[in-house]
Structure 1
Amino acid sequence: MNVNNWQSADDAAIKELPFHVAEWLAEFGSLTEKLSRNVDDVRLEVLHEGAGILTAEEASALNADGDVNCQVREVLLYGPQQPWIYARTTMPVSSKHLIEKLGNKPLGSILFSDEELRRQFLQVCQLEESSQLYQSAIHYLEKENLLVNSKQSKLWARRSLWKKKDKNDGMLVCEVFLPDAPLYR
């Protein structure tokens, strides 16, 4: 399995990963909920929410034209003291109503409670330093002096496409496991 490109998180691919990595990447439930089993009080920090431009990778995953205006939400989910997960959610502007009233609540509060939203796929990847998603995740850590462990040359990530049943509304949720996340231990 070439983990430097997005791969389907099917059984065969997951079996090739070390268990401590697979147990986080293959989580089909809420990642925030999984985090709460490891941390007394999960803290979410909204870094950005507003208009943005889809990257070429995001446009491809969303089946959208390149350079499409979109709604972007970027957050950090914290472990006991340090951020463990950087999440970037992108969607066409026409779908922004899905998250408009989210505020500081985790995205999982919508994804796993809305009966019409369905996960279309779950993919995994090991991001290299040249990846835009890697750079976005590390940028926030460096800017705020939050990198406790040394910067890693590769970061594990997963992404899911969520769509409303029988509608075009959808969002791409990318989650990057930061250097202090337990899957690196």
Structure 2
Amino acid sequence: MNKSTSLYLSALCKMHWQSPRQFDYPSAVSGAWLQEMGSLSQRLAQSCHQLKVKVINNQPVAFNDFMPIERQGLPCETFWVRDVMLYGDDQPWVVARTLMPLSVIDEAPCDLSQLGEKPLGLTVFDSPQARRDQLEVAYCPDPHRTLLARRSRLWMHEHAMLVSEIFLPESPIYK
């Protein structure tokens, strides 16, 4: 993992998360991207010729090892942590962190801990019971420019996982 990716992932625990209704969006386009309630992976794939996933981290982590802000709204159990970088046409677009309770992995139709380079959203939203709630948005300070971020609970088979995403400078959210 390179230094900037590590900084982005650690910034997810330090952001001032806000309700989408209270957030001051820089544009209508960014507002639409941040408030997407379906699969972000699918929306990104529609904006490029090739969407790729690079896995940065994929391992189990004890609930007590998370920052308090990450624990909110999640059950007290061991989680599978999946950190990835999403690339659109070889440009880094999104850094994402997903915290999946092991109970989600046990009941999912496929092993979510072994997705490899397949986008999580494409798998989760194949389930008719998938839904997103508790959407929050934030600005992520960057040395070169301010970036946008969001986090939400993603539900699959009545189990919640926390998904957090930072939109990098080349992402279509800024077009």
Same fold per superposition (TM over 0.5): yes
Of 112, 119, 123 in structure 2, the residue corresponding to residue 106 of structure 1 is 119
Identify the residue that residue 174 of structure 2 maps to in structure 1: 184
Q: Structure 1, residues 60-82: CA drift from partner, whole Å, max 9, x if none?
A: 242x45xx642100111112222
For residue 175 of structure 1, what is the amino acid of its counterpart?
Answer: E
Of 33, 39, 45 in structure 1, the residue corresponding to residue 42 of structure 2 is 33
For residue 157 of structure 1, what is the amino acid of its counterpart?
Answer: A
Q: Indicate if the aligned counterparts of 2:58 and 2:113 stay in contact, CA closer than 8 A.
A: no
TM-score, structure 2 length as denominator? 0.74
1:8 CA displacement? 2.3
Identify the residue that residue 57 of structure 1 maps to in structure 2: 69
**Map 1:1-185 → 2, pairs under 5 A:** 5-9=16-20, 12-13=21-22, 16-17=24-25, 18-52=27-61, 53-62=65-74, 64=75, 69-97=78-106, 98=108, 99-128=112-141, 151-164=143-156, 167=158, 169-185=159-175
Q: Indicate if the aligned counterparts of 1:77 and 1:84 stay in contact, CA closer than 8 A.
A: yes
1:36 CA displacement? 1.8
For residue 39 of structure 1, what is the amino acid of its counterpart?
Answer: C
Measure, in 1, the Cα distance between the counterparts of 2:126 and 2:22: 28
Q: What's the % identity of the aligned pairs?
A: 35
Measure, in 1, the Cα distance between the counterparts of 2:173 and 2:130: 28
Measure, in 2, the Cα distance between the counterparts of 1:69 and 1:94: 9
1:156 CA displacement? 0.9
Q: Cα 1:118–1:77, aligned 2, differ >3 Å: closer, same or farther?
A: same
| Structure 2 unmatched runs, 5+ | 1-14
Q: Cα 1:119–1:20, aligned 2, differ >3 Å: closer, same or farther?
A: closer
Measure, in 2, the Cα distance between the counterparts of 1:33 and 1:154: 25
Q: Indicate if the aligned counterparts of 2:30 and 2:174 stay in contact, CA closer than 8 A.
A: yes
| Structure 1 unmatched runs, 5+ | 130-150
Q: Structure 1, residues 64-108: CA drift from partner, whole Å, max 9, x if none?
A: 45xx64210011111222210011000233333341342321111
1:153 CA displacement? 4.8
Q: Indicate if the aligned counterparts of 1:54 and 1:70 stay in contact, CA closer than 8 A.
A: no
Measure, in 2, the Cα distance between the counterparts of 1:164 and 1:23: 23
